Amino acid sequence: MLDSYAVIGNPVSHSKSPLIHTAFAQQTNQAMQYVALLAPLDGFEATVQDFRQRGGKGLNVTVPFKLEAYQLATRLTERAGIAQAVNTLKFENDEILGDNTDGIGLVRDIECNLAIPLAGKRILLMGAGGAAQGVILPLLQQQPALLAIANRTPEKAAALWKQFNTYGNISAGDFLYFADEHFDIIINATSASLHNALPELPASIFAQAALAYDMMYRQEPIPFLKFARQHGAQQIADGIGMLVEQAAESFFIWRNVRPQTKPVIAKLKSLV
Ligand code: NDP
């Protein structure tokens, strides 16, 4: 029987994770299957336990269940505990291990795939939701000169400052708070692009940016990346690389094998 894995979410049918993990499994000769699992909004835990009782080995967790997955885990990795959000569950005997691979996925995409080191850089992280929260610690671990967190609701950025300021040099405010500063790397972790909206950032902020990055991915142009390019960003990137890299880290946690990500990123880019 094949070892069984899935991505659990609501909605989940749009997820690229089955495609990515199936490609990883073929590439590394792992005897496993990976499907999408829809959980009712009020039935996350029951769906997980049912999957586990049927012999499931692990799950990726997506919107809106990352916090519930954090609460369900019986053991957490340090990065998941600090992020207070879980995107990877591994079932072993009686234990449910919870990890968060989003941040390392972003870091690997920027440093390895885009070849832009984060150490010493001034980084602007836009957004203070689950995605932003999951990437703050891994970004700080690369020792940037500054990690500025800007959010439409500045109180949420301030709360993240409080949570993470002992791990590195962070500041927090709304988008205009940073209007007169320059940044090397600007990351959009808001969900504005999902609605074709553009966070209210001053155009001048992109003048010295080596990279503008949007965690979102889709076929049509992303307004934030278009705007960044028009106003001086040297390089732009969407979130496909992050998606594949976070998946590769989950795959490693489950199978103890590291798949090659570049061919899978290329395959996905040709599809979306
Ligand atoms: P959340 O709902 O948790 O957070 C949404 C954030 O976006 C909040 O900070 C919110 O601000 C802000 N926001 C929403 N609309 C606007 C707007 N019009 N202008 C400015 N700010 C806005 O979402 P997530 O953090 O879970 O996801 C954010 C994005 O990251 C999504 O596009 C998601 O697809 C992507 N993502 C990509 C991953 C990948 O692997 N590539 C992994 C995880 C996420 P406020 O607090 O003021 O409401």
Q: Which residues of 62-98 are buried (b: 16+ CB within 10 A; e: fewer)?
A: beebbebbbebbeebbebbbbbbbbbbbbbeeeebbb
Q: Which numbered atom of ligand 1 lies nearest the CA of 239? A: 41
CA–CA dist 171, 182 (Å, integer): 14
pLDDT of residue 247: 98
Encode the chain (272 residues) as per-residue pLDDT tens digits: 899 999 999 999 999 999 999 999 999 999 999 999 999 999 999 999 999 999 999 999 999 999 999 999 999 999 999 999 999 999 999 999 999 999 999 999 999 999 999 999 999 999 999 899 999 999 999 999 999 999 999 999 999 999 999 999 999 999 999 999 999 999 999 999 888 999 999 999 999 999 999 999 988 889 999 999 999 999 999 999 999 999 999 999 999 999 999 999 999 999 87
pTM of structure: 0.95
For the stretch 146-184, pLDDT in tens is: 999 999 999 999 999 999 999 999 999 999 999 999 999
CA–CA dist 15, 204 (Å, integer): 35
Supply 63's token pair.
């919107």
For the chain, which domains are there? 3-101+241-271 (3.40.50.10860), 117-234 (3.40.50.720)
pLDDT of residue 197: 92
Residue 162 CA: distances (Å) to CA of 158, 182, 238: 6, 23, 29
Alpha-carbon dihedral 137, 139, 140, 142, rounded to 10 degrees:
130
The DSSP 8-state label assigned to residue 231 in this structure reads T
CA–CA dist 77, 252 (Å, integer): 14
Beta bridge partners of 90: 58, 97
pLDDT of residue 220: 87
Q: Amino acid identity, residue 66?
A: K
Q: Which residues of 141-154 are buried (b: 16+ CB within 10 A; e: fewer)?
A: ebebebbbbbbeeb
The reply to whether 66 belongs to the active site is yes
The DSSP 8-state label assigned to residue 55 in this structure reads T
Please tell me the residue having the least CA distance from ligand 1 atom 1: 129
pLDDT of residue 219: 83
Q: Mind spelling out the 3-state secondary structure of 73-135?
A: CCEECHHHHHHCCCCEEEEECCEEEEECCHHHHHHHHHHHHCCCCCCCCEEEEECCCHHHHHH
Q: Which numbered atom of ligand 1 lies nearest the CA of 62? A: 43
What is the whole-number distance in angstroms between the Cα of residue 76 and the centre of ligand 1? 24
pLDDT of residue 253: 98
The active-site residue, picked from 16, 57, 66, 121, is 66
Q: Which numbered atom of ligand 1 lies nearest the CA of 127? A: 9
What is the whole-number distance in angstroms between the Cα of residue 132 and the centre of ligand 1? 8
Length of the chain: 272
pLDDT of residue 115: 97
Ligand 1 pocket (Cβ < 6 Å) reads 63, 102, 105, 127-132, 151-153, 156, 189-194, 197, 199, 215-216, 239, 242-243, 246
What Rg value do the Cα atoms of the chain yield, rounded? Answer: 18
Please tell me the residue having the least CA distance from ligand 1 atom 11: 152
CA–CA dist 33, 267 (Å, integer): 19
Please tell me the residue having the least CA distance from ligand 1 atom 17: 192
What is the whole-number distance in angstroms between the Cα of residue 10 and the centre of ligand 1? 16
Supply 5's token pair.
């894995």
Please choose from 107, 191, 250 the residue to mutate so as to test ligand 1's pocket, defined by most ligand atoms within 8 A of CB. 191
